[in-house]
Structure 1
Amino acid sequence: MKTIILIVLVIIWNTNAKEQSVRIKGRFTCHGLPAQYAEVQLVSKKIIGGDAFARDVFSDPSGAFEIAGYIDWSKYSKIDVRLYIWHNCFEKPYEQSDPCKNWFEFKVPNIFINDGTLAQKKWELGEVKLETPKYGKTLDACD
């Protein structure tokens, strides 16, 4: 009897679990200039089993970036996706000091989380001014 219940639960899970995807496009500036080579990471936060679909890209010489990823067998609700940004832009240009990096995160709104492996809806983040203080902005250790 326990085996039958287990098989039924696995079948229910497999029919309800689905793939979900995210696609984000934007551009970074630092004091009016393109923020070249800022690191962008897409992560799906999970309570159990650790984070999923960590994907890294860097902004191009014009400060632009586009990142996409998907996770399969996601839970029954929308995935909790975060966009992490690491950069060398400080509020005052003379504060910059390698190898220190500022970082912050955006929570991706649920309306931009797509069903399936190819994201149809794209979150157009627009221009992000990295020198502007952001809630939760943190300075990495400068070892």
Structure 2
Amino acid sequence: MKIVYLLIAIPIVFASEQSVRVVGKLTCHGHPAQYAELQLVSKFSIGGEAFARNIFTDPAGNFNIAGYINPSSWSKIDARLYVWHKCYEKPYEHSDPCSNWFEIKIPGIYVNDGPFAKKKWDLGEVKLEKPRSGQQLDSCD
């Protein structure tokens, strides 16, 4: 019975808040990708998602997204950034109301201890017209 309590207590003792912050700019054929949607998610190998944070790019295409997870995790979070946009490879393509989307895995070195991210991952300019591995088109119901 003591072993069971120990196995439960160890993760709680070593659990700590972790945070992530990602900044950058989205462009489409040289123009700002205005109001593209971004979502910051932390995935667990067991149990699904830990946090989800949604924002939109500003009129200049810039974004600054951050989130944290409370001490319920005892391992590094597996943070991902999802991007939904309406930029296509050829400027004359248009599939409104459909959106392209893709996922970016955030490197573990940008996962911070504590509720406020001290280190940020600066993606720089992301050109949305360039197809990405795993990019998909949302269903257009």
Q: SS in structure 1 opposite 2:70?
A: strand
The one-letter code of the counterpart of 1:24 is V
Runs of 4+ residues over 6 Å off in structure 1 = none
Residue of structure 2 in register with 1:114 after alignment = 112
Kept in 2, the 8 Å contact 1:20–1:74? The answer is no
**Aligned pair partner of 1:30 in 3, 28, 31:** 28
1:142 deviates by 1.1
**Following superposition of structure 1 onto structure 2, how do residues 37-116 of structure 1 map, counting pairs within 5 Å?**
37-116=35-114
| Residue correspondences, number | 141
- Taking only the aligned residue pairs, the percentage that are identical comes to 63
Kept in 2, the 8 Å contact 1:43–1:82? The answer is yes
The one-letter code of the counterpart of 2:136 is T
The one-letter code of the counterpart of 1:125 is L
**Aligned pair partner of 2:19 in 5, 18, 21:** 21
**Aligned pair partner of 1:7 in 5, 8, 12:** 5
1:73 deviates by 2.4
The one-letter code of the counterpart of 1:37 is Y
TM-score using structure 1 length:
0.93
TM-score using structure 2 length:
0.94
Kept in 1, the 8 Å contact 2:12–2:72? The answer is no
1:74 deviates by 4.6
Residue of structure 2 in register with 1:139 after alignment = 137
Kept in 2, the 8 Å contact 1:30–1:129? The answer is yes
The one-letter code of the counterpart of 1:129 is K
- Give the unaligned 5+ runs of structure 1: none
